[in-house]
């Protein structure tokens, strides 16, 4: 993304759209008004609007104007990341969907990994948990270890689609994982559950591995829901 004037206008307008200054279905001000507001040429404004269009925030209708799209409904994972960073909130349905996706994907992966895991994989996961134990008060380090642990298990399962989707999911994953590890008691309890999963993987026990992964994810879900509060169906982080 350009960080010149068009990029700056794009960021400002995108943030305003996400915050609701330009409502969904509403029409953006004409180019001349935006040019005056930002002290920019119409070319710079057009470039910014093109970026908004590419990001799925607006659409331009011939002979009519540029309108704000329903970006929460039609956007991508990256759109959701931007919404979370700006609003610091998420609706309950979206959060439920994210957690359900993780549960379905990762419990299956854990069972498949139990049959495919190698000694080098086990050593890698063991070192990961050692590093996690050494950083129980370091949220960024915990977040990195957590992603690495779960991504490794998905990779071992050999499901290419799950791996690719999980990679694209990383910014959102990190957003909530950082929040999770800020909750009192979460780091130590998470480490204990991770070790239980690693033990099941060492035994090659698919059922126990699926259950252990499920316990990890349900614990995370429980802690997050306990720590947040709900107002008008929106979870405030």
Domains in the chain, please, with CATH? 5-72 (1.10.10.10), 78-236 (1.20.120.530)
Intra-chain end-to-end CA distance of the chain, in Å: 28
Collapsing DSSP states into helix, strand and coil, what is residue 61?
strand
Encode 30-57 in three state secondary structure: CHHHHHHHHCCCHHHHHHHHHHHHHCCC
DSSP lists the bridge partners of residue 58 as 68
Cβ partners under 8 Å of residue 20, min gap 6: none
Q: Where are the beta strands (DSSP E) in 2-64?
A: 58-61
d(CA 102, CA 128): 20
Q: What are phi and psi of 118, to 5 degrees?
A: -105, 170
Class of residue 213 by CB neighbours under 10 A (exposed 0-12, middle 13-18, buried 19+): buried
Ranges of H-type helices in 170-205? 170-181, 186-203
pLDDT 10s digits, 169-199: 888 888 889 989 999 999 999 999 999 999 9
Instruction: Give Dmax over CA atoms of the chain in angstroms.
Output: 68
The whole model's pTM is what? 0.76
How many CB atoms sit inside 10 A of residue 224's CB? Answer: 19
pLDDT 10s digits, 192-228: 999 999 999 999 999 999 999 999 999 999 998 888 7
Q: Which residue has the higher pLDDT, 119 or 229?
A: 119
pLDDT 10s digits, 45-92: 999 999 999 989 999 999 899 999 999 888 887 788 788 878 877 777
Q: What is the mean pLDDT of residues 140-148?
A: 97
What are the CA-CA distances from residue 37 to residues 31, 32, 33, 40, 175 (Å)? 10, 9, 6, 8, 33
């Amino acid at each position: 993304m350009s960080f010149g004037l068009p990029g700056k206008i794009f960021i400002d307008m995108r943030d305003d759209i996400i915050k609701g200054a330009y409502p969904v279905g509403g029409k953006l001000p004409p180019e001349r008004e935006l040019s005056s507001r930002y002290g920019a040429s119409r070319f710079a404004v057009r470039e910014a609007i093109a970026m908004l269009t590419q990001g799925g925030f607006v659409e331009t209708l011939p002979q009519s104007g540029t309108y704000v799209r329903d970006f929460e409904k039609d956007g991508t994972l990256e759109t959701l990341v931007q919404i979370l960073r700006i609003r610091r909130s998420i609706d309950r349905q979206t959060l439920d969907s994210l957690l359900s996706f993780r549960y379905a994907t990762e419990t299956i992966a854990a069972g498949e990994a139990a049959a495919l895991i190698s000694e080098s994989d086990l050593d890698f996961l063991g070192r990961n948990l050692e590093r996690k134990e050494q950083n129980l008060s370091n949220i960024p380090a915990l977040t990195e270890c957590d992603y690495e642990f779960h991504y490794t298990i998905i990779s071992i399962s050999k499901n290419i689609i799950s791996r690719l989707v999980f990679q694209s999911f990383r910014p959102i994953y990190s957003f909530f994982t950082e929040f999770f590890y800020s909750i009192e008691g979460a780091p130590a309890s998470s480490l204990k559950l991770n070790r239980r999963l690693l033990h099941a993987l060492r035994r090659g026990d698919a059922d126990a591995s699926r259950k252990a992964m499920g316990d990890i994810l349900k614990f995370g879900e429980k802690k997050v829901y306990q720590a947040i509060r709900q107002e008008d169906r929106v979870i405030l982080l």
